Structure 1
Amino acid sequence: MDEWVERALARFPNVPALFGWLGLDRRGHWLIQGERISHARIVETIARNYGVDDHGRWFFQNGPQRGYIALEYTPLIASVQADDTLMAHTGRAIESVSALYLDEDSTAVLDTPDGAALVQGADLAWVLDRLRADDSDKEIDDQALSNALAVPSGTQTDLTLVVGNDRLPVYRCDRADIPATLGFVQAPEPRDGENSN
């Protein structure tokens, strides 16, 4: 968080939280009342002061006020960089991944220490190039992917995702189950006793 945010929090610790105004779409664009925020300095400020509370609700800490973010899908959006590394929409590197989740539409979500990260549609080739069946070192075929997508939600598939020297588990998980499975809230609401606007 920015230093000015921490100073404001210390000075005004009980400012009511804001719900229902801010959002994040599945392309990594910040939204205010459904409209894309395009001003570069505002986008950068939100990204630097973006975090998650103990209940899995993601927010932008705007000085002393916390603005909770409605998520179209996941709290982070991952893109593949020119050097083949992953970057979150916030500009932070995604340095490790523990698993891959595939939803019913073949959408790929990475489980990372920083939060669930949706792989941008244009970068799905990065995932497909790294999927392996069983202990094979060969890329999977369409049938292996279809078989993985056919298993019930919550099931570990026969596929693995190769990232560096690691072979990571691949799970099938319905989109509706992803938030609970990966520990985040898509539509944050005030909790009992919380001060909010």
Structure 2
Amino acid sequence: MDEIVKAAMRKWPNVPDCYAWLHLDARGRWRIGAWPGEPITHVGLKEFIGRNYQQHIDGSYIFQNGPQRVFVRLAYTPYVYRLSDAHSLELTAHSGQAAGVVQQWFQDEQGHVLAQTALGIGLLDGSDMNAFVQRCEARGGLPEFHSLKCGEVAARFGFVQNPQPSPSN
């Protein structure tokens, strides 16, 4: 988390939370406004959001925008992974973070590929599928895929796709 964000949190500890404003689509793009929102295109803003994106204690994912927690609506998973370079199977999250070692691969009933890594569960960006298959085949074949259903992913991996304010907010 950026130091400027930490300082703002100390200075203004009681800023209200924000819901239904920031979204992460299935391609790893940040979007703002009413669902599905408009894509954020400013590189600096996307990087700032990525550096200050984290899981909240309730399983939601948030962007810590200075002193304000902005709860993120997820189109599918909290991370969208891309192949890191032109040759390896290493993954980088939409947030810019290295995913780390893939612990398990999954495929849902719609054919989406998901990776469980040290960072968390994430969807492999569909635009990387051909390169992913080619690289796996060059290394001796596809990895073992575990089956799962789209509707079970959030509960299985402990995250909230569409956070809502509590009645007391």
**For the residues of structure 1 that align with 2:12 and 2:57, how far apart are their CA atoms?**
20
**For the residues of structure 2 that align with 1:127 and 1:57, how far apart are their CA atoms?**
32
Mapped contact 1:111–1:182 kept (Cα < 8 A): no
Q: Which runs of 4+ in 1 moved over 6 A?
A: none
- Residue 65 of structure 2 is matched in structure 1 by 62
Q: Quick one: structure 1 residues 130 and 182, their matched pair in 2 at CA, closer, same or farther if it must change by over 3 Å?
A: farther
What's the offset of the Cα at 1:128? 7.1
What's the offset of the Cα at 1:139? 2.9
Higher Rg of the two aligned structures? 1
Q: Does residue 103 of structure 1 match 2:108?
A: yes
Q: Does residue 121 of structure 1 match 2:123?
A: no
- Residue 149 of structure 2 is matched in structure 1 by 174
Deviations along 1:140-172, one digit per CA (max 9) or x if unpaired, are 6xxxxxxxxxxxxxxxxxxxx2xxxxxxx6321
Ranges in structure 1 where 5+ consecutive residues have no aligned partner = 132-136, 141-160, 162-168
Pick from 41, 49, 53: which aligns with 1:46? 49
DSSP-derived class of the 2:145 partner = strand
**For the residues of structure 2 that align with 1:183 and 1:109, how far apart are their CA atoms?**
15
Ranges in structure 2 where 5+ consecutive residues have no aligned partner = none
TM-score by length of 2: 0.88
- Residue 21 of structure 1 is matched in structure 2 by 21
- Residue 139 of structure 1 is matched in structure 2 by 141
- Residue 32 of structure 2 is matched in structure 1 by 32
The alignment covers a number of residue pairs equal to 162
Q: Quick one: structure 1 residues 138 and 3, their matched pair in 2 at CA, closer, same or farther if it must change by over 3 Å?
A: closer
What's the offset of the Cα at 1:115? 1.6
- Amino-acid identity (%): 38
